């Protein structure tokens, strides 16, 4: 019965629209207005719009360093044709009464163009081009239906097709309302959270861990609040989702245990401030600095540029070396070996001077070189120095210091030895064995001489 009523309603609306169009086309006053609209469009498209684009290109050239102006000029270039068309159409609307022309169609054209320009400017705030285009077309369709007076009939028709899902009544109109409300609420929540994050980044009173914690919790809270407000705004009773929410929570608890474990671990890491962006950490075989800290994973970039996404649970349950946890001071060690003929005290002095020459090496605590042992081939020294910027790397500063030590050793005649071994062979054979060994060697020499001179005559016979 309801399907038949819906089909009858569609047929009735279609018949009314067709009758209205036929009446308009038969009206003699319509065609002069239609010709005016077409002529004005041609002038706007091929004469005025190119001039506007040239002017905007000139403005972009002089304001190319200002991002906001450049984005505004690009948006105006995209709508240069409807903008020029609107301006000329409004001018034609003002002139029409003096030419004794009716203005019904002209007013409709101006209203549609005005709605399109305003909606297009508003949708330019959305960064995604596809989403902005969908929003602009949808909003202009609603505006066009309202201008022609068909909006109420269209909404009634869309609302007439409905199904009941439990206590919730769903129709195409309800789905459209839910979609638009969710999009707008989520967009507003994201914009507010992004604005808060930028404000926190410029704040010097809070550390990096606190900024990340506040921004993440704010974003999650705003998104959840936006979803609840959007569903309530379209008339959906949230109590009808209570059972579904309970079942979903149980399912998430068992099926997404690891994910929730990482989420909770991420919150714990942000609260206790054990690691924060910029820290240099070592976890297993991974050594690098923290690029960003999320609720599910932490991004660690190594010195070779590889980015590791480490689950937060591992940072909680495993042993982590955080170099600048309490402070940024890090001590580095460099083993050095010199020959036994070199002056050890002079070598220690040169090592300390070479470390002090590097700008990254701290003077307090000062670098020290110490004698740590006597090796098989060298006198073993160890240089210990301190830095306070481990984020800039440790191997590079050690390499620079060792190069300076190399140059100073060559200037002062201190040598770096290579492994050496003295081999002493003691005989364990007696005199009889040695004589027999010598006799065997002489027999071997005689046999070799016979082979070279040829076989004896008796052997040939």
The model's pLDDT over 404-455, given as tens digits with 9 standing for 90+, comes to 999 999 988 898 887 766 666 555 555 566 566 566 655 555 555 545 554 4
**Counting Cβ atoms within 10 Å, is residue 54 exposed (0-12), middle (13-18) or buried (19+)?**
exposed
What pLDDT, on a 0 to 100 scale, did the predictor assign at position 420?
Answer: 66
455 falls within a domain: no
pLDDT value for 455: 46
Asked if 301 and 208 sit in the same domain, the reply is no
- Among 106-120, 160-174, 179-193, 291-305, the least confident range: 160-174
From residue 233, give the alpha-carbon distance in Å to each of 78, 229, 425.
Answer: 34, 6, 98
Predicted TM-score (pTM) of the model is 0.43
Answer yes or no: is pLDDT of 69 > 70: no
Candidate ranges 147-161, 165-179, 389-403; pick with highest mean pLDDT: 389-403
My answer on whether 276 and 343 are in the same domain is: no
DSSP 374-408: E-SSSEEEEEEEEES-GGG-SHHHHHHHHHHHHHH
- Asked if the model's pLDDT at residue 57 lies above 70, the reply is yes
Compare 371 and 170 and report the one with higher pLDDT.
371
Q: How confident is the model at residue 346 (pLDDT cuts 50, 70, 90)?
A: very high
Question: Do residue 251 and residue 270 come from a single domain?
Answer: no
234 and 311 together in one domain: no
For residue 332, give the 3-state DSSP assignment: strand
Structural domain count, the chain: 4
What pLDDT was estimated at residue 281? 85
Residue 453 placed within a domain: no
Average pLDDT over every residue of 269-288: 81
CB 120 within 8 A of CB 136: yes
Q: Of 41-45, 86-90, 457-461, which range is least confident?
A: 457-461
24 and 136, same domain (yes or no) = yes
The token pair at 347 is: 């070598």
The least confident of 87-91, 224-228, 242-246 is: 242-246
Share of the chain above pLDDT 90, in %: 9
pLDDT of residue 52: 85
Model confidence at 403: pLDDT above 90 = yes
Last residue of a domain, which of 129, 161, 193?
Answer: 161
For residue 352, what pLDDT is reported? 92
- The CATH number of residue 310's host domain is 2.30.30.60
Residues 176-205 have pLDDT tens digits of 777 777 777 877 888 888 888 787 777 766
In a domain, 419, yes or no: no
Confidence class of residue 5 from pLDDT cuts 50, 70 and 90? very low
Nearest in space to 132 (alpha carbons), one of 79, 92, 60, 56: 79
Pair 300, 352 in one domain: no
Report the pLDDT value the prediction gives residue 305, as an integer from 0 to 100. Answer: 79
Indicate whether 156 and 224 sit together in one domain. no
- Say yes or no: 38 and 71 in one domain: yes
Q: Is 246 inside a domain boundary?
A: yes
**Average pLDDT value over all residues in the chain:** 77
Residue 408: half-sphere exposure toward Cβ, Cα within 13 Å: 19
Domain boundary among 137, 161, 185: 161
Q: Does 216 have pLDDT greater than 80?
A: no
Same domain, 215 and 284: no
3-state helix, strand, coil in the chain (%, to 5): 65, 10, 25
For residues 223 and 226, give the distance between their C-alpha atoms in angstroms, rounded to a whole number: 5
Q: Sign of the C-alpha dihedral, residues 395, 401, 407, 411?
A: negative
Q: What is the pLDDT of residue 217?
A: 77
CATH of the domain at 385: 3.30.70.100
- Position 254 scores a pLDDT of 64
267 — pLDDT class (breaks 50, 70, 90): confident
Res 144 pLDDT > 70: yes
Is residue 271 assigned to a domain? yes
Same domain for 119 and 141, yes or no, is yes
**pLDDT reported for residue 2:** 44
The residue with greater pLDDT, 193 or 25, is 193
My answer on whether 15 and 130 are in the same domain is yes
* 7-16, 46-55, 208-217, 290-299 — most confident range: 46-55
Let me know whether 355 and 290 are in one domain.
no
Band (pLDDT 50/70/90 cuts) for residue 461 is: very low
Q: What separation, in Å, do the N-terminal and C-terminal C-alpha atoms of the chain show?
A: 131
Residue 450 maps to a domain: no
In a domain, 428, yes or no: no
Sign of CA dihedral 32, 35, 40, 41: positive
| 143, part of any domain | yes
pLDDT exceeds cutoff 90 at 295: no
Give the pLDDT confidence score for residue 4 in this predicted structure.
43
Higher-pLDDT residue of 210 and 132 is 132
In contact, 377 and 368? CB cutoff 8 Å: no
CA distance 213 to 345: 53
CB 119 within 8 A of CB 143: yes
Taking the C-alpha atoms of residue 122 and residue 177, their distance in angstroms, rounded to an integer, is 19
Q: Is the pLDDT of residue 291 over 70?
A: yes
* Mean pLDDT in residue range 281-298: 82
Give me the pLDDT at residue 89, please.
Answer: 87
Which residues constitute the domain of residue 151? 2-161
The predicted structure's pLDDT at residue 401: 92
Q: For 36, how many CA atoms within 13 A lie in the half-sphere containing its CB?
A: 26
Last residue of a domain, one of 237, 255, 273: 255
């Amino acid at each position: 019965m309801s399907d038949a009523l819906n089909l009858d309603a569609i047929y009735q609306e279609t018949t009314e629209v067709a009758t209205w169009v036929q009446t308009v086309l038969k009206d003699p006053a319509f065609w002069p207005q239609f010709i005016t609209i077409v002529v004005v469009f041609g002038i706007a498209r091929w004469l005025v719009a190119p001039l506007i684009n040239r002017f905007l290109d000139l403005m972009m050239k002089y304001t190319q360093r200002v991002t906001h102006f450049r984005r505004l000029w690009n948006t105006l270039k995209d709508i240069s044709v409807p903008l020029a068309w609107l301006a000329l159409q409004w001018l034609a609307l003002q002139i029409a009464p003096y030419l004794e022309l009716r203005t019904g169609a002209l007013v409709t054209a101006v209203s549609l163009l005005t709605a399109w320009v305003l909606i297009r400017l508003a949708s330019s705030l959305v960064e995604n081009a596809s989403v902005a285009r969908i929003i602009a077309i949808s909003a202009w369709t609603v505006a066009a239906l309202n201008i022609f007076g068909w909006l109420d009939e269209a909404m009634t028709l869309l609302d007439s097709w409905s199904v009941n899902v439990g206590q919730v009544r769903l129709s195409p109109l309800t789905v459209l309302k839910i979609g638009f409300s969710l999009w707008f609420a989520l967009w507003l929540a994201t914009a507010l959270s992004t604005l808060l994050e930028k404000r926190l980044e410029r704040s010097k009173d809070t550390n990096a861990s606190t900024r990340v914690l506040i921004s993440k919790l704010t974003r999650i809270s705003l998104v959840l609040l936006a979803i609840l407000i959007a569903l309530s705004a379209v008339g959906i009773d949230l109590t009808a989702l209570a059972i579904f929410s309970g079942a979903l929570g149980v399912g998430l608890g068992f099926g997404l245990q690891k994910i929730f474990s990482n989420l909770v671990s991420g919150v714990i890491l942000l609260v206790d401030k054990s690691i924060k962006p910029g820290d240099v950490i070592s976890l297993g075989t991974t050594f690098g600095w923290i690029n960003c800290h999320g609720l599910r994973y932490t991004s660690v970039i190594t010195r070779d540029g590889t980015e590791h996404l480490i689950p937060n649970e591992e940072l909680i349950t495993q042993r982590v070396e955080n170099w600048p946890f309490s402070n940024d001071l890090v001590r580095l060690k460099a083993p050095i070996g010199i020959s036994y003929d070199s002056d050890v005290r002079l070598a220690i002095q040169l090592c300390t001077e070479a470390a002090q020459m590097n700008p990254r090496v701290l003077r307090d605590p000062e670098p020290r070189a110490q004698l740590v042992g006597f090796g098989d081939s060298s006198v073993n020294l160890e240089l210990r120095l301190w830095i306070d910027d481990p984020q800039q790397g440790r191997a590079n500063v050690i390499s620079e210091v060792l190069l300076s030590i190399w140059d100073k050793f060559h200037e002062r005649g201190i040598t770096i030895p290579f492994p050496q071994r003295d081999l002493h062979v003691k005989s364990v054979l007696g005199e009889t064995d040695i004589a027999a060994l010598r006799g065997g060697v002489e027999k071997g020499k005689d046999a070799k001489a016979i082979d070279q001179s040829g076989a004896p005559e008796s052997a040939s016979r």
